[in-house]
Structure 1
């Protein structure tokens, strides 16, 4: 389950390693890649 977030998801990124979220693309503090939540992806 994903944590609650007040943003709409259009410009929100999530690390699939630790679940952290941010508003800018790049690398998470844990070393994982931040993926855009507004784009479709294979699960």
Structure 2
């Protein structure tokens, strides 16, 4: 289960390696790729 996020219109990214969420894209501190949560994902 994913943690609830309080997104108030901001961009929101999540690292699929460690689960950390941030408002800036790129690479996570753990080295994983941050993916935009607003975009559709191939599950």
TM bracket, shorter-chain basis: 0.7 to 0.9
Q: TM-score, normalised by structure 2?
A: 0.85
Q: TM-score, normalised by structure 1?
A: 0.85
Unaligned runs of 5+ in 2: none
Query: Residue 31 and residue 14 in structure 1: after superposition, are their counterparts in 2 closer, same or farther (change >3 A)?
Result: same
More strand, by proportion: 1
Report runs of 4+ in structure 1 exceeding 2 Å deviation: none
> How many residues are matched?
43
